[in-house]
Structure 1
């Protein structure tokens, strides 16, 4: 009996030791458990560039990344469905602030980033203020990844031959467009978008620089005296000094006219500059100059927008890890690496680095820096039914290009736009 008891006690001690070892091993295993975050992103050069940097992030933080990317329309649909179903599977999301940021934030799909940014001393100080993605109540919900602004593309050789410098005001732009336009030689002083909805985004910088806006105090402002002058000016340039077929031109068609050497001035998004400077795409690749947006009666107020941003899903259970990724992906070091690959970020210090920006045309860098400091963070009305609004505003632009009654068209559009606003 004594021997049996001792044997039994010995067995129990062995099991206890094994259980303790098992518990210790399990605890150690739990401590070493790797956290994985899911990022939902667009098929975009930024996504391709960041993929190459992910091993650095994973090694630095111990956090694994699962990156799912989709075409832009698919991305909107995918994220909309997952967010609406209260999915917890989106930790980090890449999104277009102007296209769906406002709607997604309004629906409660994003996490407010105020408390996260506040923990990082001076985190937002190095970003251009117009690039930070905020709600109507000034709450930060997204960090910029890619920015663009409207610069003035121009023909350096033509201006030099005429003894002219790039225009700095709307008045000078009109004077030079008139002087240099020569339709008999298939050369036009000015080209820009003239196709209804497409024209609205590029018209916006003219509207702001004339002191106008799309909305004021929740109502349409496209029938204001300032807006009328902007419509007449923009439409007048295209009517008097633009090429044939302007009403059918979105950016590819307008860019085509410019790169074929048929236009002197072309106000367009900075992100498209390689179309004008690439020898395989442009017959004037070595003759293109870039200048800041000219000043109107209210000064130079070009759009300077965040084309793509990044945020945290509201239902994510890994918000801290998601913030670690965002903090890393938008750091000075990573933004600098990506900017050398053509991804134009939003950090001032990176734009101030000649080494980082040596691949860009020097005058383009300077034009962007000037614009970004005073830019307006939208190209379109900030409403959900923006497509309908762009069509209505585009009708006034078409009227101006045709040389018809702008006041009458703007009054009608003003009424229609207010009805759209009431639908919000």
Structure 2
């Protein structure tokens, strides 16, 4: 400070300097608080890739919030987010999880309750989907897309073979169709199904297949019922069908791999998630967009059984340190406005499916997506808690709604994949699976 400044002015200068310093520190702290990075874990499915591409639109309207994506293959995602949330590690602020995890984790108090404002319009979410993300009428995740299951087929191949898809196909008919349209010399495979091991990969399909063949995972008293006649019939159908009419290396094919095979013209039929419709009918992503037909999921000997209902949801772990920012992101990414944004940027056929009634009521979506009414009806009538041929102590259609199923389903998925690859027989595989399930149930005190 200059020597000629008076004592009074020296005091004023010190007060001014301290005030300026305090103000600048406060501003710096506020800026630091506002500049938040959310880490979002998601699966590498097409709809989630679009969400990442559109993230800059969120960041424009929410300055100071930045999104860091961790995009993982489905089995890896499940392992990572389960480990993170169970240990309260806090690596992720938003997780992409299914309606399998939501009720289990919410009851463990691992998830934050989500409370969208009135403009979000929770009542617009289709009732079965809304039920799957709620516990005691409180919402613990928001659905990005939802699905049931359907049969996709190539209309040109059916016409060439002189066959017609049944309005409600049976699994016997599916096998007959596959035999007639398979042309391995031209790399056209009549039947594509999930073969990649995992509780949410091959076992999601296998569980629904077993249901309609009259089987189930557990009987009364939580006794494992894997090594039974319905399981043998279902798994034999699956293994023999893929060996005769499926692509090579089927144990490497999950949802995404089969989607790529069908979209590139190598699958004659594919039984899988209804969400694939938006991708297969999109000429930007599918070489066979003009030649795709669809029908209900096939029925087996039992015919009835629980029906597939799945949703991929955005949830906020209780361990996140950025709760408000995370709520802002998950509401944006699942909102009506986001649906409109995808429609503007990618076309109506590419919007997230299966969640909002307003999407299915939109004439532009109905025109772009010929499968729209079929899918909405499949989701609205899905019955994941329906009866199996014999009484069962659990709920779920393509999974068992218990925490132990991640381990059980993964173990059995690997055993079934070994049968599919020819390393073991179906009978040997099911004996091994029965022992594995029984052992895990006993070790985890399933049923008491």
Query: TM exceeds 0.5?
Result: yes
Distance 1:25 1:180 in 2: 72
- 1:8-407 alignment, distance < 5 Å: 8-9=7-8, 11-13=10-12, 15-16=14-15, 19=18, 34-42=34-42, 44=44, 45-46=46-47, 48-72=49-73, 86-87=88-89, 90=92, 92-97=93-98, 110-113=110-113, 116-117=115-116, 120=118, 123-131=121-129, 134=133, 140-157=139-156, 166-171=165-170, 174-175=172-173, 178=176, 181-182=179-180, 191-193=191-193, 195=195, 197=197, 199-209=202-212, 212-215=215-218, 219=222, 222-223=225-226, 228-229=229-230, 232=233, 235-236=236-237, 239=240, 243=244, 249-250=250-251, 251=253, 265-272=269-276, 286-294=290-298, 297=302, 299=304, 301-306=306-311, 308-338=312-342, 341=346, 342=350, 344-345=352-353, 346-356=355-365, 359-360=368-369, 362-363=370-371, 365-375=372-382, 376=384, 379-382=398-401, 383-385=405-407, 386-392=409-415
Instruction: Please list the CA deviations of residues 275-327 of structure 1 after superposition, one character each: whole Å capped at 9, or x if unmatched.
Output: 86688998865432012324565548542322x43222322232122212211
TM-score with structure 2 setting the length: 0.66
Distance 1:409 1:94 in 2: 34
Task: Sort the Cα spacing of 1:338 and 1:303 in 2 relative to 1 into closer, same or farther, 3 A.
Answer: farther
Distance 1:185 1:384 in 2: 37
State the partner residue of 2:438.
418
Deviation at 1:113, TM superposition (A): 1.5
Distance 1:245 1:180 in 2: 9
State the partner residue of 1:4.
none
Instruction: Please list the CA deviations of residues 195-251 of structure 1 after superposition, one character each: whole Å capped at 9, or x if unmatched.
Output: 584643223333344565434677256459xx8447525744874898356896344
Give the alignment's Cα RMSD to 1 decimal. Answer: 5.1
CA contact (8 A) 2:145 2:313 kept: yes
Gaps of 5+ in 1: 1-6
Deviation at 1:269, TM superposition (A): 3.2
CA contact (8 A) 2:190 2:246 kept: no
State the partner residue of 1:3.
none
Deviation at 1:256, TM superposition (A): 9.0
Larger Rg: 1
Distance 1:256 1:61 in 2: 35
Distance 1:419 1:211 in 2: 24
Distance 1:243 1:194 in 2: 15
Instruction: Please list the CA deviations of residues 129-164 of structure 1 after superposition, one character each: whole Å capped at 9, or x if unmatched.
Output: 454564888864332324444211123346668997
Task: Sort the Cα spacing of 1:10 and 1:47 in 2 relative to 1 into closer, same or farther, 3 A.
Answer: same
**SS state at 1:309 partner:** strand
Number of residue pairs matched by the alignment: 404
Task: Sort the Cα spacing of 1:294 and 1:318 in 2 relative to 1 into closer, same or farther, 3 A.
Answer: same
Deviation at 1:61, TM superposition (A): 3.9
Gaps of 5+ in 2: 1-5, 385-395
**SS state at 1:325 partner:** helix
Deviation at 1:388, TM superposition (A): 0.7
Distance 1:48 1:284 in 2: 21
Which deviates more from structure 2 when the two are superposed, residues 235-244 or residues 290-299? 235-244
**SS state at 2:124 partner:** coil
TM-score with structure 1 setting the length: 0.69
CA contact (8 A) 1:128 1:347 kept: yes
**SS state at 1:125 partner:** helix
